[in-house]
Amino acid sequence: MIGKDLVSFRDLEKKDVEHYFKMASQMEKNLKSGKKLVKNKVVATLFFEASTRTKLSFQTAAERLGCNVIDFGVAGSSLEKGESLADTIKILDGYADVLVMRHPLEGSVRLAGEMSKHPVINGGDGGNQHPTQTLLDLYTILKEKKKIKGVNVHLVGDLKHARTMRSLLYGLGMFGADVTLVAPRGLEMDPGVIKEVHERFGLKVRELSALDVRGADVLYVCRIQKERFLDPYEAQKVVAEFRITEDALVGAKDDLIIMHPLPKIDEIPASMDESPHARYFEQARNGVPVRMAVIYEALKYKK
Ligand code: NCD
């Protein structure tokens, strides 16, 4: 059952995710017709970490639904005078009907949800979870491949620090995809997460330390998450290893699609944007109808 807060992909059951997919495709129709579904509601965005897509697609989704948006800007707020995060949440909870929050501390959004009477949606908490990104990722795979079960997905990059990958592994396990994890040595997925997804969904992953695109239906790439490294020089060393160039795609299936949560830095050169395999900009666009569905559901919550 869809609960008050959406903090982790673990909060969702398969039928909830399928419900969001159905709603998102309905929202795509509403986007075309321009019909507003909501009146007199306020969505607050509180982003304590950099964001382009997540924040703006949530704001766009809220506006397209007919909600008003208030954005809490950290700079210029009373946080600078020393106000606590807890008080900030309580104040925003008094102004808005839904709160969308991103914060560098893992678990912080769960805490915000516990303190808030209104639904809180996680826009990313540290290296932990990014559930709405996973919803739009799975929605994109479903739109492109017409199914998720049995689709051969390679997750490539900094699997140790990327919250998008942790959430997505959970979602892919839930839907029975075939998963290969490709990470530079030292940046592998937390074995605890792999074990959890195996125990919960029976997912057995294949692990590689070098790219091998043969057989892949989806190449899901993420950047090296420099800001989460203790030593920034370590990050620089591995950046060059995992570049998705035309050469790296030799032997790939014709209908391979390349996805990326973005921002992409060096791991995908700009020349790939014209490739028939690239789908990351479509993927980012799918963020709007998917987040419309998430906000719409959250607004149904009765205190
Ligand atoms: C990601 C994030 O912030 O986790 N971006 C996003 O939300 N689309 C990926 C990243 O920063 O690498």
Same fold, 9-129+285-298 and 132-284: yes
Which region, left, alpha or beta, applies to residue 155 given φ > 0 means left and ψ of -120 to 50 means alpha?
Answer: beta
| CA-closest candidate to residue 27, choices 301, 285, 303 | 285
First CA to last CA distance, the chain: 16
- pLDDT tens digits in sequence order for the chain, 303 residues long: 789 999 999 999 999 999 999 999 999 999 999 999 999 999 999 999 999 999 999 999 999 999 999 999 888 889 889 999 999 999 999 999 999 999 999 999 999 999 999 999 999 999 999 999 999 999 999 999 999 999 999 999 999 999 999 999 999 999 999 999 999 888 999 999 999 999 999 999 999 988 999 999 999 999 988 888 877 777 777 766 678 999 999 999 999 999 999 999 989 999 999 999 999 999 999 999 999 999 999 999 986
Dig out the tokens for 267 from the structure.
Answer: 């791991």
CATH superfamily for 132-284 is Aspartate/ornithine carbamoyltransferase (3.40.50.1370)
Q: Please, which residues have CB within 8 angstroms of residue 131's CB and are 6 or more apart in sequence?
A: 6, 7, 8, 9, 11, 12, 122, 167
Cα–Cα nearest to 34, from 68, 70, 66, 58: 66
pTM above 0.75, yes or no: yes
Amino acid occupying residue 74: V
Gap from CA of 185 to ligand 1 centroid (Å): 21
Ligand 1 proximity of 130 Cβ (cutoff 6 Å): yes
Ligand 1 atom closest to residue 223's alpha carbon, by position in its atom list: 12
List the chain domain ranges: 9-129+285-298, 132-284
**CATH assignment of 9-129+285-298, among 3.40.605.10, 3.40.50.1370, 1.20.1530.20, 3.30.200.20:** 3.40.50.1370
